[in-house]
Structure 1
């Protein structure tokens, strides 16, 4: 794991984007990371309906998501808004 990229314990559900937001920090810069509801449902093999279910699925997959986000940050694979999106 790259110690230059730090992830906080914060996460929030965005209903409009149908994705969970989780921040990362690299060299003092804040990077917004997203994981789609579709990705979470595929990796839990169950429908996720409530916000509590979605955030619980995120928490259960946090380590893998942080690794995926870290790889995308290192590869500078940002979207048009400067965010990382795992979809």
Structure 2
């Protein structure tokens, strides 16, 4: 794990975007990371309907998501907004 990239324990469901966002920080820069509802449903093999279930599944996969986000940050795989998007 790259210690230059830090993740906090903050996450939030965005119903409009249908994704959970979680922040990362690299060299003082804040990077918003996103994981889609679809990604969480495929990995968990569950239909997630409410925010509590979605965030619970996010928590269950948090370590894997942070690893994926870290790889994407290192490879500079950002979208047009400078965000990392998983799924």
- TM-score class, shorter-chain normalisation, is over 0.9
Gapped runs of 5+ residues in structure 1? none
Moved over 2 A (4+): none
User: 5 Å matches for 1:1-87?
Assistant: 1-87=1-87
TM-score by length of 2: 1.00
| Aligned mates of 2:35, 2:15 — CA distance in 1 | 12
| Aligned mates of 1:79, 1:28 — CA distance in 2 | 19
For residue 56 of structure 1, report the CA deviation from its aligned partner: 0.1
Gapped runs of 5+ residues in structure 2? none
TM-score by length of 1: 1.00
Give the count of matched residue pairs.
87
Aligned residues: CA RMSD = 0.2
